[in-house]
Structures are given as C-alpha cells and as structure tokens.
Structure 1
Amino acid sequence: MISLAKDIERVVASLRAGRLKVRVPRSSDLFRWKPRSFFHPYPELFIQTGGATDFDCPSESFRLRTWEVCVMPTGVPHAEKPIDLKTPFGTIVFMRARDGFFLHRGLGAPDGTIHGAQAEHLVSSRGRSAFRYLEEMSASVAEKHRSGFRHSLLEVFLVTILGELHRPSGGIASRSPLIAEAEKLARTLLGNPELAVAGIASTLGCSADYLSRRFHEERGMTLGAWITRERLEMARDLLSEPRHSVAEIGWMCGFSSPSYFIRVFRQQTGFTPRAWREAANS
C-alpha cells in the first residue's frame, strides 16, 4: 500500500501547481445529530485517493472526486457514501487527537460502508495549532482572495503533517488493525451520546468482551474508560475557549445531559467544568 506521506506529497504538488480542487462546505445546522451523519468539535480533512465520496451536508450535497480535497468545518453534520468509479473508493481522513493527529485510510466495504485499512496516531504538540489552519479555512474572505487564502492555510497544514511523519522518532503509536479501527470508530462517534462498546464491537464483527479484552491488553485501559478519557480531554480543550457554554460543550462531547457531564467531569478532575474554565483562564 502506498504510504500516507506519498499521497500527501502528491496533493501538495498539485496544490502548488494550482490544480487542486478544495471543497469547504458552508457551516449550517451546527452540532445537530442527523440520521447517518456525524459532526465533530474540530475540523476534518478528507483527501480522495480513489473513486469518489458523496457528501450530504445541511447546506449542500456534492461529490468529492479522486485527488480532490474537502475540509469539513467544525460542527457540520455530514454523511459520507463511498463510490467506486474508474478506481476503487479510497480516502485519507485527518482528525485531531487530544495529543496530536489521527490519520486513517478508508476503503469501501461490500455493504456500502467505509472501513479503515491503515491508521496512524501522530503524537505531537503541534496538533492544536495545525488544526487552527483548517478552522480558518471556513472564515469569511472576499471572493477574489478566497482561493489563495484557503490554499495557503491548507499547504501549511499538510506540510506540518509531513514534517511529523518524517520525524526520525516517527511520532507514531501503531495499533493492531482491530484496535486502530475501534479507536477510529470511537473518535468518529465521540459526540454521540449513544456511543457504546457493544455497538463498536458489533460493527467490527466481534463480541464486546473480546474487544474490551484486546483493547485493555494494548492500551492498558478498557475501551469504555478510553472513551470517557477522550471525551473529557476534548471537553477540557473546549473549555479553554469562551465560544461555547458548559451545556453546549457537554453535548458536543457526547454527554447526554449537562448534569451528567458535570458529574463525570467532577469525578475525574475534582472540579466542575465552570470552575475548570475559570481556573484555566485566570
């Protein structure tokens, strides 16, 4: 399989040559769960490496074709349908992890879903700043400057990723295919209050007990505990900025009610979310 770095380098070359098509859907119906759709508290980047993806967003639907790029803004609900064309469906998805970057290569499955074939967790202190470049790509900019503005931000993001991939230490924490796919599914659904180990196991074709045991062997904690940790790390990050209320952050991070969010947050940190925010910003 072609390395992730090779595919990213191809996109950078196309970008610098002025040939790359970049799609940025309009922000609409933010952070609302819809059937077969997902949203995330950070932007995502999709590189189409084969076939196409039919995206369905609240404000528009479009087809992302081979070697085109889509930046999905924060909070935009979107459904994805894999399409085989002259080449089989293939995509690379870039997501923000609490400690860096999470990249996975997606392939089409016979049942019409997308499954991960290659995943990399890049541990890096540059993750937070890098995803701000993607965040800025949905900013309002005069039409005559928009393309250059977006392409410049995208190039900085991709070059940052390449730098992390080429670091001598690698910066990569590899997982077995099963655990990598479990993490990918969990990250995709962190904002869904109905996310459960049993559902992830069913999607992966194994029992919840087997998945939990394998996850604990590799990660040193149960999958349920890992999900809670990731949600709370996401919440702490969002609390450091004033854009969202405590209730909104709890909802975005997959907690079914504000009271449940506050209770779990206090159990794990010793602070209420509001007290954490005040201390972080003092």
Structure 2
Amino acid sequence: MIPLSKDIERVLSALRAGRLKVRVPRPSDLFRWKPRSFFHPYPELFIQTGGATDFECPADSFRLRTWEVCVMPTGVPHAETPIDGKTLFGTIVFMRARDGFLVHRASASPDGAIHASQAEHLVSSRGRSAFRYLDEVSAPVVEKHRSAFRQSLLEVFLVTALGELHRPSGGIASQSPLITEAEKLARTLLGNPDLSVAGIASTLGCSANYLSRRFHEERGMTLGAWITRERLEMARDLLSEQRHSISEIGWMCGFSSPSYFIRVFRQQAGFTPRAWREASIA
C-alpha cells in the first residue's frame, strides 16, 4: 500500500501548481441530523485517491473525482456514496482527534459501505491549530481572493500533517483494525444521542461483549467510558469559545438533554459547563 505521505505530497504538489480542484460545501442546516448524513463539530478533509464520492449536503450535491479534495465545514450534514470508476473507490480522510489528528484510508465493500482500511492516530499538539486553519477555509472572502485564501490555508494544513507523519519521535499510535474501526465509527457518531456500544458492535459484525473486551485490552478503558471522555473533551473545546450556547454544545456532543449534559459534565469535571466556560475565558 502506498504510504499516506506519498499521496499527501502528490496533492500538495498539485495545490502549489494551481491544478488541484477543491470543493467546499456551503454551510447550511448546521448540526442537524438528516437521513444517512453525519455532521461533526470540527472540519474534515477528504482526498479522493480512486473512483469518486457522491456527496449530498443541504446546500450542495457534487461528485468528488479522483485527486480532487473536499473540505467539509464544521457542522455541515453530509451523506457519502462511494463510486468505482477506472479505479476502485478510495479516499484519505483527516479528522480531528482529541489529542491530534486521525488519518485513515477508506475503501468500499460490495454493499456500498465505506470502511477504514488503514488508519493512523497522530498524537500532536499541532492538531488544534491545524484544524483551525481548515475551519477558516469556508470563511466568506471576496471572490477574487477566495482561491488564494483557501490554497494558503490548505497548504499550511497539509504541510503540518506531513510534518507529523515524518516526525522521527514516532507520534503515531497504531491499533488493531477492529479498534480502529470502532473508534472511527464512534467519532463519526459522537453527536448522535443513540450511539451505543451494541450499535457499534453490530455494525462491525461482532458481539458487544467481545468488542468491549478487546477495546479494554488495547485502550485500558471501556468503549463506553472512551465515548464519554471524547464527548466531554469535545464539549470542553467548544465551551472555550462563545459561538454556541450550553444547550447547543450538549446536543452537538451527543447528550440527549441539557440536564443530562450538565450532570455528566459536573460528575467528570467538578464544574458545571457554564462555570467551566467562565473560568476558561476569564
């Protein structure tokens, strides 16, 4: 399999040469669950390495072709349909992890399901700033400067990711395919209140007990505890800004009601979300 860095370098070269097509769906119906669609509290970057992907978003529908990229803005609901062409469907997807980057290759099964075939967890303090650059790609800019603005932000993101991939200290934590898939699926669905260990296990074709045991062996905690931790880390990050209300953040992070969000947050952090926000921005 071609190293992730080689494909990223190819995209970076095309970007610098002005030959890269970059798709950025318009923000619309943000943070709303729709059939077959997912949204995330951070932006994503898709690199199409084979075949194509049909994206359906509230304000845009388009086909991402081989060696084109898509920056999916924060909160935009999107459905993905894999398409085989002269080459088989393949993508590289960048997602923000709690402690850096999550990068995975994805392929498609005969039934049209998209799954990770190679994943790397890049533990990096640069993840937060890198994804802020990616978040700015969808910012409104006058048309004559839009292309250069997006290109510069995307270049910084890709160069940062490459630097982490090449870091000799080995900031990469590899996992078994089962746990990689479980984490990927959980991260995709963190904002869904119906997310459960049983549902993840069913999707992955194993029992909840088996998945829980394997997850605990590799990660040192139960999958349920990991999901709660990831949701609360996401909430803390969102609370550090004033863009969303407490209730909105609870909903975005998968808590079924504001009261449940407040209760769990206080149990884990020792503060209510409001008190934590006031202290963090003081």
SS of aligned partner of 2:173: coil
**How many angstroms apart in 2 are the aligned matches of 1:141 and 1:60?**
19
Q: Hey, what's the Cα distance between the residues in 1 that align with 2:141 and 2:281?
A: 30
Give 2:61's aligned residue.
61
Q: Distance in 1 between matches of 2:169 and 2:191?
A: 32
What letter matches 1:229 in structure 2? R
1:95-120 CA-partner distances (Å, limit 9, x unpaired) = 01111011111001111110110011
Give the corresponding residue for 2:39: 39
Letter in 2 for 1:173: A
Instruction: Give the match's secondary structure for 2:14.
Output: helix
Matched position secondary structure for 2:47 = strand
Query: What code does the residue aligned with 1:263 have?
Result: R
Whole-angstrom CA distance in 1 between matches of 2:172 and 2:249: 29
User: What residue in structure 2 maps to residue 238 of structure 1?
Assistant: 238
Supply the distance in 2 between the matched residues of 1:45 and 1:188 (Cα, whole angstroms).
14
CA distance in 1: counterparts of 2:87 and 2:268, whole angstroms: 48
Equivalent residue number for residue 18 of structure 1? 18
Cα-to-partner distance string for 1:154-181 (whole Å, 9 max, x where unaligned): 0000000000000001210110010001
1:166 aligned partner: 166
2:107: which partner in 1? 107
Provide the rounded CA distance (Å) in 2 between the counterparts of 1:274 and 1:107: 42
What is the distance in 2 between the residues matched to 1:190 and 1:150? 28
Look up the SS of the partner of 1:7 in the other structure. helix
The amino acid of 1:57's aligned partner reads: C
Map 1:162-241 onto structure 2 (within 5 A).
162-241=162-241
User: How far apart are 1:183 and its partner, in Å?
Assistant: 0.4
Whole-angstrom CA distance in 1 between matches of 2:109 and 2:196: 22
Residue identity in the other structure for 1:186: A
Pairwise CA RMSD: 0.5
Structure 1: stretches of 5+ with no match in the other structure: none
Which amino acid in the other structure matches residue 214 of structure 2? R
How much has 1:60 moved relative to structure 2? 1.1
User: What is the DSSP-based 3-state SS (H/G/I as helix, E as strand, rest coil) of the residue aligned with 1:118?
Assistant: strand
In 1, the alpha carbon distance for the partners of 2:111 and 2:260 equals 36
Residue 36 of structure 2 aligns to a residue in which SS?
Answer: coil
Gaps of 5+ in 2: none
Report SS of the residue matched to 2:95: strand
Identity of aligned residues (%): 86
Give secondary structure in 1 for the equivalent of 2:138: coil
Equivalent pairs counted in the alignment come to: 282
In the alignment, the residues of structure 1 paired with residue 97 and residue 45 of structure 2 have an alpha-carbon distance, to the nearest angstrom, of 13
SS at match of 1:47: strand
3-state secondary structure, aligned to 1:11: helix
Is 2:275 the partner of 1:249? Answer: no
Aligned to 2:118: 118
Report the Cα distance in structure 2 between the residues aligned to 1:2 and 1:150, rounded to whole angstroms. 27
How far apart, in 2, do the equivalents of 1:198 and 1:49 lie? 32
* Residue type at the aligned position of 1:122: L
Please give the alpha-carbon distance, in whole angstroms, between the structure 2 residues aligned to 1:280 and 1:92.
35
Match of 1:98 in 2: 98
The DSSP-based 3-state class of the residue aligned with 1:192 is: coil
Instruction: State the distance in 1 between where 2:60 and 2:73 align.
Output: 13
